[in-house]
Amino acid sequence: MKKFLALALVVPLLISCSSKKDDSYNEAFVKDTNGFDILMGQFAHNIENIWGMKEVLIAGPKDYVKYTDQYLTRSHINFDDGTITIETIAGTDPAAHLRQAIITTLLMGDDPGSIDLYSDANDVLISKQPFLYGQVVDNTGQAIRWEGRAAKFADYLLQTRLKSRSTGLKIVYSVTINLVPNHLDKRAHKYIGMVRKASKKYGVDESLILAIMQTESSFNPYAVSHADALGLMQVVQHSAGVDVFKSQGKWGKPSRSYLFDPESNIDTGTAYLAILQNSYLSGIDNPTSRRYAMITAYNGGAGSVLRVFNSDKTRAFNIINSMEPGDVYQTLTTRHPSAESRNYLYKVNTAQKSYRRR
């Protein structure tokens, strides 16, 4: 199912336990978030003007969406559903627009920092090592690495799978391609080495890192969100990013390009998990109970986790330590004020079980 965003965008923020920020930090924070809000509003407005209000489709954590051709053509990879949909509303030779977009999407590289998902710039470059290599095969069952094979497959798709629909104002021409059944595992495999390195460096379980990556982005390195969370582990520059840099003796926050680099993103996300584990939530004695709290805090902040049990931090720790891990899990999945955080713990915990069996 397509995910649509309204023009009135609200920017929720991950909340860390460190509540005392100086005035200059707060001023910069507001400036950054307001600037992102304006950017997103303008981008969505451009799409609405050309495609129509009900056709505003924007990239998300598990959806790569790239516009080209002055917003007339777009490529959408849905990493949850395992589909690639190429669409165009070009009035002249729509097949040619689709053909080029199909080839470019199939052969794009894996450098998220090189692509601006919030513009119609034709900045997607064909790579000798395509990001989607092995995640999609052509009509003969072959993986697609070279432009010749991609072009032949594009021609086949246009001959056999071209569809059209009317939006009332525009005719949308499209082609849909299915990713291979185990596409999630193939993406995960790309990052195993980086995960192991970060796990060893920070003392965080590999299976937890992988489970969070799956839940946050479905291993989509291009992942973005309306909260401006970035990359595989959906790190927010202004909160988790600042906390990590501070813990490492660095000033400021990680840049967008830094967080779009997969290894840097995994390192930063894992470092934040370590902060939750060894600092913010270190008062929880039982490692399983602490893990449940860490998972929930990664989504909604450590402060909100502790307040579920008591508004006083020390009392909250004492209450948690008096409970069985199963009761802590039950409490966080039923009493946390955020439905997203309640569901998040369930999703990550379920995913982690599958990675532990490997």
**Residue owning tokens 């589909």:** 83
| Residue 69 and residue 97 in contact, taking contact as beta carbons nearer than 8 Å | yes
Yes or no: say if 109 and 115 are a contact pair by the CB < 8 Å rule.
no
Integer Cα distance of 31 and 104 in angstroms: 35
Q: How far apart are CA 154 and CA 242, in angstroms?
A: 44
Rounded Cα gap, residues 78 and 257, in angstroms: 23
| Per-residue buried b or exposed e for 245-280, using 16+ beta carbons within 10 Å of the residue's own CB | beeeeeeebbeeebbbbbebbbbbbbbbbbbbbeeb
Catalytic residue, candidates 27, 216, 263, 340: 216
Distances, alpha carbon 5 to alpha carbons 41, 46, 285, in Å: 10, 13, 42
- Count of Cβ atoms closer than 10 Å to residue 70 Cβ: 11
The single-letter DSSP state of residue 113 is G
**Whole-angstrom distance, CA of residue 99 vs CA of residue 182:** 26
Which two structure tokens, joined as six digits, stand for 200? 């060893």
Give the Cα separation of 216 and 171 in Å (integer).
34
Q: Specify the amino acid at residue 230.
A: L
| Residue 198: how many other CB atoms lie within 10 Å | 24
User: What b-and-e string marks burial along 141-152, b requiring 16 or more CB atoms within 10 Å of the CB?
Assistant: eeebbeeebbbb
The 171-178 sheet, strands edge to edge: 63-68, 73-78, 83-88, 171-178, 163-166
Three state DSSP letters for 16-33 = CCCCCCCHHHHHHHHHHH
216 is catalytic: yes
Active site residue ranges: 216
